[in-house]
Amino acid sequence: MDHHIDINLFDEEAVIDLALFFKIFGDVTRLKILFSLLNGEFTVTDLIGKLGISQSTISHQIGLLRRMNLVKSRREGKSIFYSLDDEHINSILLQGFTHISEKGKNQ
Amino acid sequence: MDHHIDINLFDEEAVIDLALFFKIFGDVTRLKILFSLLNGEFTVTDLIGKLGISQSTISHQIGLLRRMNLVKSRREGKSIFYSLDDEHINSILLQGFTHISEKGKNQ
DNA sequence: GTAACATATGCATATATGTTCATATGTTAG
DNA sequence: CTAACATATGAACATATATGCATATGTTAC
Chain A CB contacts of B38 under 8 Å are 4-5
What is the pLDDT at residue A47? 98
- Gap from B90 CA to D9 C1', Å: 39
| Subunit contact B5:A69, Cβ cutoff 8 A | no
Q: Which residues contact B83 (CB under 8 A, 6 or more apart)?
A: B37, B40, B41, B42, B71, B72, B74
- Cα dihedral sign for B46, B50, B52, B53? negative
More confident residue, B4 or A19: A19
The 10s digit of each residue's pLDDT in A14-39 is 999 999 999 999 999 999 999 999 99
Name the nearest CA neighbour of A95 among B23, B37, B21: B21
Residue B103, pLDDT above cutoff 60: yes
What is the pLDDT at residue B104? 60
Task: Give the amino acid at B107.
Answer: Q
A11 touches B: beta carbon within 8 Å: no
Distance separating alpha carbons of residues A104 and B52, to the nearest angstrom: 36
Find the largest Cα–Cα distance for chain B.
57
- Gap from A102 CA to C9 C1', Å: 31
The band of A106, judged by pLDDT with boundaries at 50, 70 and 90, is very low
pTM: 0.90
Residue A59, pLDDT above cutoff 60: yes
| Subunit contact B9:A36, Cβ cutoff 8 A | yes
Whether B23 sits with its Cβ under 7 A from any strand C atom: the answer reads: no
A5 touches B: beta carbon within 8 Å: yes
| Subunit contact B3:A27, Cβ cutoff 8 A | no
Distance separating alpha carbons of residues B42 and B80, to the nearest angstrom: 8
The 10s digit of each residue's pLDDT in B20-51 is 999 999 999 999 999 999 999 999 999 999 99
Closest CA of chain A from B41, distance in Å:
14
Residue B107, pLDDT above cutoff 90: no
